[in-house]
Structure 1
Amino acid sequence: MATVPLLTDEEAPAESRAVFDAIRAARGTDHVNNFWRVLAHDPAALRATWERLQAVMAPGALDPLVKELIYVAVSAANGCGYCVHSHSAAARAKGMTPEMHSELLAVIAMASQTNALATALQVPTDPLFLED
């Protein structure tokens, strides 16, 4: 359960409804995710988050599928179930296959294990890995 109510279009401030419309237009859907409906309580934060997400997730040096896979991995590491689900759905929509998902989960699990070992053992970073 959210700590604040999910705002319907009718309940949301006009500024938030404008962002909802932008989300619908960008995604080509009538659905506005619960994440945005919770943020709608603070129209400025909603707009800033939506604009930043659009910029970061746009095609660039990394293609959109790779960005979604990274988002899933970071969300798993941070324990954000909502984000794991929403970005897994976005990754599937951008072409993630079941085999890619399995490999992604294997990489997440491996990184979690080796991160924990390196942290627990306080392994010093090899000078070769440090930038000048």
Structure 2
Amino acid sequence: MQRYVLTSYEQSRGGTREVYDEFLRLSGAAEPPIWMTSLGHNPTLIRAYWEKTRGCLLEGELPHVLKEMVVFVVSRVNGAEYCSACHAHSALQLDPTLTYHDLVSILDPKSTVPLPASHRMALQFADKMARDANAVGDEEFEKLLKAGFTESEIKELLGVIDLAMMFNCYTSGMRLPLDPQYKALLES
């Protein structure tokens, strides 16, 4: 059973078209991604998803590439193929020195991926939050503070983790197919 209907740019109207236009302007993409077009039938819902995405992922204090890696890590934990591929693609676009294998192995203690220690700590925190947020104690937050993250940045990190969890649930529940550029990444 197909669980979604895609609303192309040409079919979009009103609030949906506004979201598509803003996404295209900010991302430089040629067309909206499948996750977005799967929400295109409902202007209120697509606006809500887009606002959260823009606020958590595209704005803020944390480096964009770190946020993309956080979403990738959380999505891998949750087995969310669409989000894993999408955010691996974005991270690799932002940092062409990385490879897909680097992202997959980034939390391995033997990883040689050049990454600031604070970023590795943020990714480990994201991994723990995705596995069981209730098991994350004060000491994990204190480690982030000692690594140089401000309270505001920690809240932003939590927002990115929450964004990933939301999209993991949505894209996996809808069984969305991969956009061609994400599929190509996994096949390389």
TM-score higher than 0.5 here? Answer: yes
Q: In the alignment, which residue of structure 1 is the partner of 2:139?
A: 129
Query: How far apart, CA to CA, are the structure 2 residues paired with 1:91 and 1:2?
Result: 29
3-state SS, counterpart of residue 31 of structure 2: coil
Q: In the alignment, which residue of structure 1 is the partner of 2:21?
A: 21
Letter paired with 1:56: C
Answer yes or no: is 1:61 the counterpart of 2:39.
no
**In structure 2, do the counterparts of structure 1 residues 89 and 131 end up closer, same or farther at CA, with 3 Å as the change threshold?**
closer
Q: In the alignment, which residue of structure 2 is the partner of 1:76?
A: 76
Query: How far apart, CA to CA, are the structure 1 residues paired with 2:13 and 2:69?
Result: 33
Query: How far apart, CA to CA, are the structure 2 residues paired with 1:23 and 1:65?
Result: 18
Q: In the alignment, which residue of structure 2 is the partner of 1:91?
A: 91
Letter paired with 2:104: L
Answer whether contact 2:88 2:103 (CA < 8 A) is retained: no
Answer yes or no: is 1:51 the counterpart of 2:51.
yes
**In structure 2, do the counterparts of structure 1 residues 67 and 2 end up closer, same or farther at CA, with 3 Å as the change threshold?**
farther
Query: How far apart, CA to CA, are the structure 2 residues paired with 1:74 and 1:68?
Result: 10
Letter paired with 1:98: L
3-state SS, counterpart of residue 39 of structure 1: coil
Query: How far apart, CA to CA, are the structure 2 residues paired with 1:103 and 1:62?
Result: 20
Letter paired with 2:101: S
Query: How far apart, CA to CA, are the structure 1 residues paired with 2:101 and 2:46?
Result: 33
Deviation at 1:102, TM superposition (A): 3.3
Query: How far apart, CA to CA, are the structure 2 residues paired with 1:59 and 1:93?
Result: 17
**In structure 2, do the counterparts of structure 1 residues 13 and 129 end up closer, same or farther at CA, with 3 Å as the change threshold?**
same
Q: Deviations over 1:39-79 (max 9, x none)?
A: 11221110111111111113533200000000000111111
Deviation at 1:13, TM superposition (A): 3.4
Structure number with greater Rg is 1
Q: In the alignment, which residue of structure 1 is the partner of 2:37?
A: 37
**In structure 2, do the counterparts of structure 1 residues 109 and 46 end up closer, same or farther at CA, with 3 Å as the change threshold?**
farther
Q: Output aligned runs, 1:102-113, within 5 Å.
A: 102-108=101-107
**In structure 2, do the counterparts of structure 1 residues 5 and 107 end up closer, same or farther at CA, with 3 Å as the change threshold?**
same
Instruction: Name stretches of at least 5 consecutive residues in structure 2 with no aligned partner.
Output: 110-123, 143-188
RMSD across aligned C-alpha pairs, in angstroms?
Answer: 3.1
Answer whether contact 1:68 1:88 (CA < 8 A) is retained: yes
Answer yes or no: is 1:12 the counterpart of 2:22.
no
The TM-score, its normalising length taken from structure 1, stands at 0.73
Instruction: Name stretches of at least 5 consecutive residues in structure 1 with no aligned partner.
Output: none
